[in-house]
Structure 1
């Protein structure tokens, strides 16, 4: 008879950190050695600042803003939204140059792209979105549908999962104008199959818009190869742009001459400094801009884009998987026996870089954890979300955080 195999003991967090090839990158982030915050597990809401960004901001204020004053616009600032957009495209979006621009907030860009997309297909009267999408996405879709007399078709998604091809196929049809989905579900962390779902939408003759807020910078994305029409994403999570950093919009170049966004600001016009009468949109991706770009708000993300390029997106994804696998193993070992439950996919191929754990006491517990410097976040009704940013989160932080949650439950 064959001998039964003995289960291998789980590696300790110290062993995992020692073996982590990306561990040296952690020292580039400000505050990582501050033991008043023993575990920062909310990088999917707000990423840590990079030390390089402190220097960049000081230099900009002193040398650019202070030294060049208004001349800075002509010398470099006006080009930054498209320049950084191209850097994003190359490093984390899988997008060729000229299709991505850094501009407004996520909400404003969602409105602009959704409104432009449905206007391009006036004979189609339905917008499709899932019920568990982020509130902003749902609110904007509902508002535009009400404004235009359209209907919203809802995709039902599992509480601990996300949108599948079968669920989407049940509601997409000949009346569908646009489908709006999140690449990674904000609550469960479910990672959607971008290529498969985009193809399904195109088979129905509709356009596809992806919200990349919870995936960009942590999960490999290939917008061009997947044939994506439109995408929006924020930059203060895994791109570490800082609180309120501006979002980005991607518009596939095949749509540049067909879609017209509705906020006709001066910078999106063909000749901004002509100050002429009547709005003529700029050609290319700049036509999706509106007002004066938030230059200071887009500086810090440049450092994180550069760092991801140095580490390599595939290595970032591998670390993300290792972190979430370790977190799930600790949840099973230390939280499940005392009443908590995992509400995220166990299959690593179906999971982004955060997990959600549920327990009826978690809302009250989260406030107590924050006072200890253990910082996850809470999502109603009963979920603690552990956001693990691959280049700044250590395995030791994950263990500290889950042990602190266990102590509160006990």
Structure 2
């Protein structure tokens, strides 16, 4: 009866799904239930077509004339403008370029420069202890480069962020947080935290790696200073796709980032001896844009045409809740502990379960064509991408998980050996 009720509920939810037609926009293997779009989104058909076009026709036939003929040179700005609506931003405040790590170093330096021009005392970067490692590494590396007197990292527990703002009110330059925690999926209150930091004169950088393309973001409304994010997760831009930077227009005149490459020059094709910074977001560019990958990303973003972030978020909540309900009803292994908050407003588009055999269970699931992922030390992470998943697929995934657990297939040696990428 439980399974029958869940099946009817899944059918009902899929019937009223306003985004159900989008599944036809993706290339997905037969019988594969892809629950790892929060780590690498699947291939959109538009991106597959663009890849052929940009390689065979633009590069192949039109060669170097494509910089003008196919407007390769303006891809960073055009792609940024497509991402902007997903962030709640004006189009001109977003640009696509480089990786999230490189972009974080740029905005971190820009924010520190702004602060140290107004107060030599402000050198502290506050972050969260469980932040994504690269975010912390970038601050540590910058501190080693310029010295702790100009950049010093203070990382605090999640529940101490507001108190840290108060404690370091006189010396903090930047608050750097990831909006959705990569392990737990917990969401920070962007508006409240940004407001609290600004009240103490602290600039805020948000990492949107697990937010962009799945949450109803409002960066302009929240008066965010800077943000960075990747595009290969929920934006489906492909492995290693270019990342993006958001910078509020009010800061543009004061932004100085350290990587003064020729594409960030005001007139790059004048080939002047001395650097003259470009206007607006173009100042964040460094070298030649990766045309093939950025063209593919440009095409992938067309999937979002005609749908709103509110629709995306509503389906995300529905998928997440349905999976949780099916899991609770059908999975009997009491060693699972949900570390993601129960409240919809506090969690992103994922569920994270701790389990002593999480890695092996994940590998066994993949063998059953249910692709999730593992995060150290013991997290089975399930991601919900609203553009291509159905509630019926989620019920099937839980049933395959139940089979893996009931038969203890995860104990097989082939699932116990960790691979290079986990």
TM-score above 0.5: yes
Is this contact kept in 1: 2:166–2:200, CA < 8 A?
Answer: no
CA apart distance, 1:63: 2.5
Could you tell me which residue of structure 2 aligns to residue 27 of structure 1?
24
- CA deviation digits over 1:374-401, x for unaligned, max 9? 1100011111100110011121222222
Rounded Cα–Cα distance in structure 1 between residues aligned with 2:230 and 2:34:
20
CA apart distance, 1:168: 5.0
Rounded Cα–Cα distance in structure 1 between residues aligned with 2:247 and 2:332:
44
Rounded Cα–Cα distance in structure 1 between residues aligned with 2:300 and 2:133:
27
CA apart distance, 1:334: 2.6
Rounded Cα–Cα distance in structure 2 between residues aligned with 1:326 and 1:357:
15
Could you tell me which residue of structure 2 aligns to residue 5 of structure 1?
none
CA apart distance, 1:140: 0.7
Could you tell me which residue of structure 2 aligns to residue 241 of structure 1?
237
Matches within 5 A, 1:368-387: 368-387=364-383
CA apart distance, 1:170: 5.0
CA apart distance, 1:171: 4.6
Is this contact kept in 1: 2:46–2:300, CA < 8 A?
Answer: no
Matches within 5 A, 1:90-239: 91-122=85-116, 123=120, 124-148=122-146, 149=148, 150-157=151-158, 166-169=162-165, 171-239=167-235
Q: 1:260 aligns with which of 256, 280, 283?
A: 256
Uncovered stretches (5+) of structure 2, i.e. residues with no partner: 407-422
Is this contact kept in 2: 1:335–1:341, CA < 8 A?
Answer: no
Residues 182 and 107 of structure 1: CA distance in aligned 2, closer, same or farther (over 3 Å):
same
- CA deviation digits over 1:122-177, x for unaligned, max 9? 221200010111111111112212323132122202xxxxx676455455411111
Is this contact kept in 1: 2:25–2:303, CA < 8 A?
Answer: no
Q: Report the TM-score when normalising by structure 2.
A: 0.89
Could you tell me which residue of structure 1 aligns to residue 58 of structure 2?
64
1:300 and 2:296 equivalent?
A: yes
Is this contact kept in 1: 2:358–2:380, CA < 8 A?
Answer: yes
Is this contact kept in 2: 1:165–1:200, CA < 8 A?
Answer: no
Could you tell me which residue of structure 2 aligns to residue 78 of structure 1?
73
CA apart distance, 1:21: 2.3
Tell me the secondary structure at the aligned position of residue 314 of structure 1: helix
- CA deviation digits over 1:187-215, x for unaligned, max 9? 11112111111111111101100001101
Rounded Cα–Cα distance in structure 2 between residues aligned with 1:222 and 1:288:
22
CA apart distance, 1:218: 0.3
Two-structure CA RMSD over aligned residues (Å): 1.8
CA apart distance, 1:86: 1.3
Q: 2:271 aligns with which of 264, 275, 283?
A: 275
Uncovered stretches (5+) of structure 1, i.e. residues with no partner: 1-7, 158-162
Q: Report the TM-score when normalising by structure 1.
A: 0.91
- CA deviation digits over 1:229-258, x for unaligned, max 9? 101000001100000000001111111110
Rounded Cα–Cα distance in structure 1 between residues aligned with 2:300 and 2:324:
27
